[in-house]
Structure 1
Amino acid sequence: MIYFFIEDTNEKVKIGRAKDIERRRKNLQTGNPRKLLLLGWIRTDDDVRIEQEIHRHFHVRRANGEWFDLEAVDVLPILSHFGVDGFVGTTDDAFQVIGHDRDGIAEYMGVWYWGDLEFEECCPFCGSFCGMHYQEASSMYHCINCDELTSFEFLSPRHEDN
């Protein structure tokens, strides 16, 4: 898998590859005073070639080794390009009410901390760029990657706590 870590100060993005992303993050975190956060990853059997292509794509923004002067949104097109095999690190509470607009309509925490993604683009449960697809027969949304099936009823204003 190809991973994208960002330092919590949003200064640098590490683009690398690992079989176990969480173990790799923990190893990189050792001795690093800045917290490393997972932006996303790409599931692939051709990780060496794809990592090299991504490094070449961002070569003018290389800071040091596999670290690049990028913002989180710079990674988004790369992840979305891989569709069902591109993933974002989803927010813990993707459906938490964070406020209300002028009309009193609830505004929810998005799928991704660093950008405005909707569930039609990216599954809020697994982070896959396959998105959630509406199924007429069940009147529910379905993720083809994680097989999650939901109606998103809890997003309806009638289910909010006032």
Structure 2
Amino acid sequence: MRSFGAQFKEYRESYLNITQTEAAAALNMKKESLSQYERDHRNFPPEDYKLAREIFQIPDDYFIAMVTGVPLKSVRAKEQSLPEVTKDLRVSYQDHFLEQFEDVILQNDEMRELIALVALLDKKYQRQLLNTFKGFTSLYQNEITKNERLKKELDECKRQSKA
């Protein structure tokens, strides 16, 4: 029987065609944690099943297969071809994704400008720029985490010195 994490990986890759980073961000978890769940190094938390189902708009029959370990390719095998199913699920997820982040795009001049600038580039350069941007974002997040940790330690030291 396949674990929920392995089933989720198959669904994410084969049906939604989204990256692990994107999925982890949507689930509000670290990419490393999701990787461990998908590789069966840790069990996917059952309390996150419902969250994954809602965020990724997983249809009932696929969700039941994921929970029970039934191969996803056997679901709807007789009704639709895999490309049709994949397209439908991907479109559903993309619609949900756009709804989820619509405010970020519409209310942020810099985001709209960035999207417009990236759209002007060739596909090759789009990927290069966006991968560079992801790298900078990761460094930035690490610095924020480090600064927050240092601030907590400093506050704790101040509190202890007053006592």
TM-score (norm 2): 0.28
Greater strand fraction, Structure 1 or Structure 2:
1
Greater helix fraction, Structure 1 or Structure 2:
2
Structure with more relative contact order (C-alpha pairs < 8 Å, separation 6 or more): 2
